[in-house]
Structure 1
Amino acid sequence: MPYTPPPELASLSLAELAAQVAARKLPPIDQWSPQEIGDSEMRIAADGRWFHQGGEIRRPAMVRAFSSLLTRDERGQHWLVTPFQKLAIAVEDAAFLATDMQAKLDPEGRTALAFRLNSDDLVVCGPDHPLRVSGTAEIPAFYLAVRNGTEARLNRSTYGQLIDHALSLGSADLAVESLGHRFVLVPGT
């Protein structure tokens, strides 16, 4: 069956977005304990492109399949996990890129910040998927927790969408809220 990407974020209500997230069947990698450990000879570049043995993986379906097997351990090492193997993968910055953001309202009237990733995953920022800011005030870097310890770095346009949203709120300390959780967007605060 051919892959059909989810609709654009702007066209989805929060309920429709939640249904899209629930429909994504992810493998239970947290339940697997493979004995064979090795190197995948793969790399995820800072710009989100995937490589194997130096050649770029150009098929989006392959990248999407591999991305569903990603985890990151407490030391920051990324792994591709199957029931039979745990293979190290080099990640230059973050495993994913956030490529779009939309502010939605939940049934209680709270704002929910929804993000689309370069893997077509949809993630709603909140307690399970917090925003993290690093870098400096001059060169900040924004990250969204995705799953299994992995993160998505917000690309330039998505970072711009997030800052525009924060500015529209008139917050004195440049902050946003999502699902009742507050995230300050200034590094070091």
Structure 2
Amino acid sequence: MIVTPEPVMRNRAIIEVSNIFATYEKDRLRRQATWIRSPGVTYSCGDCSMSESKREAFDKFFTTDAGKGLLSDFGRIVDVLNAEQEKDGPRAYSHRHAPNLRIEHQEHKLAAAIARAREETAEKLQKEDFSGVLRSLAKLHAPLQAFFEHVTINVENAHLRLNRLRLLAEARRVMASVADIENISAWDEGAA
């Protein structure tokens, strides 16, 4: 008869309990939001009411360069806002930016692109033209890239800094109005 030492038995019990908790957590998360995984894209639809046409539009768009660019832009915006929000508080960027505080050319271009995207996405959502909605959001890529490249966000003038962060928050809100982009990630089919 082989006798298993007590520490080994204790470790097995810990691993078993850990697995039970891990399974419980996975089930809890699965109940909270259904994750949809199709070739090239993983995303969440909280109430899972996403129509087949919307799902198809997402599948096609987020595997393109434009889709990957949009995800990258969104991630960059979220990173900047989260980092700065620790200093400014959770509601600091909930107001719209002040047009009279836009100084740089790129700020004006980004504000115009956000307004255009907001209008176009609302119109296309009414028609359930999901591919068109995503193409409208993709038009934010160039102005966002120019903004990040040429505009310094953390300037000494607190009003300008806050205004620039609010402008980015507006871009985030327009993107998030279409989908829970924070829960979308492109994945490589080879890694699946």
TM-score (norm 2): 0.23
Larger-Rg structure: 2
Greater strand fraction, Structure 1 or Structure 2: 1
Greater helix fraction, Structure 1 or Structure 2: 2
TM-score (norm 1): 0.23
